[in-house]
Amino acid sequence: MNDILSLIALLILYIPIAFTTLHVLQNAKLLTKIIYIMLSIILVNFIAYIFLAFNLVILFALHKKGFIECRNDKLYKRITLNDIVLLTAVVIGIKIVFTLANIGYLYILNKLGISIENQEIINQLVNSTPGWFLYLSAIIIIFAPIVEEFCFRYFFYDKLFKNKFKVNRYISSILSAVLFSLLHANIAGALSFFMLGLVLCYIYEKKGLMAGIIIHAEYNTFAVISILFYQS
């Protein structure tokens, strides 16, 4: 069952990025496209977040006008120092609110007799060696925010639900947040992931993709720091 969930989660992340890359390569030779598909499938099975993040970085670095379409140029909105300070304050605020909400949520789960388990990546962090802890922390803080913000906010929320299927932004936010929560496959954290998904859709609308990546990275950083305190 866990293997099936992991495969679904991998496909949710892989398909948007592979689709976007093939769109960029639409005028390339068929052989180039085949090589990309084969190579990406191999690499995504071994270093999923790292490969997908570098895939996106290369796309942005080689970007030419018209390659990646997004209304209001949300992919390339610049972030100022004041924005970073404000976003950090937002992260602290939502972390407090989410923690309080999660206490009540976990209490309800406990009353319903639903078993509460940590997310698998959290268990790996807690039980990891120092070197593996640094590796996993880099994925959580750097690579995961880049990949997940592109997939859930740009691709699913903006490009697919809002623009392709013409769903209003509120329903699109909910659908994207549900997918984001399902990706993490953890009942104990489902409410927090769902609420975070909604907040990140709002931030994406107001400040663009980079702002969402910053909030996501800072949010995950707090999680890693809390694990460090737990270990000590």
Greatest Cα-to-Cα distance within the chain, rounded to the nearest angstrom: 59
Q: pLDDT (tens digit, 9 = 90+) per residue, 141-172?
A: 999 999 999 999 999 999 999 999 999 999 99
User: DSSP labels for the chain?
Assistant: -HHHHHHHHHHHHHHHHHHHHHHHTTTS-HHHHHHHHHHHHHHHHHSHHHHHHHHHHHHHHT--TTSS--GGGGGG----HHHHHHHHHHHHHHHHHHHHHHHHHHHHHHHTT------HHHHHHHT--HHHHHHHHHIIIIIHHHHHIIIIIIIIIIIIIIIIS---HHHHHHHHHHHHHHHH--GGGHHHHHHHHHHHHHHHHHH-HHHHHHHHHHHHHHHHHHHHHHH-
pLDDT of residue 69: 53
Give yes or no for residue 99 having a pLDDT over 90. Answer: yes
Query: Is 134 or 26 the better-scoring residue by pLDDT?
Result: 134
- Burial class of residue 107 (count of CB atoms within 10 Å of its CB; 0-12, 13-18, 19+): exposed
Cα 97 versus chain centre, distance: 20
Q: pTM for the whole thing?
A: 0.93
Q: pLDDT (tens digit, 9 = 90+) per residue, 42-92?
A: 999 888 999 999 999 888 877 655 545 545 578 778 899 999 999 999 999
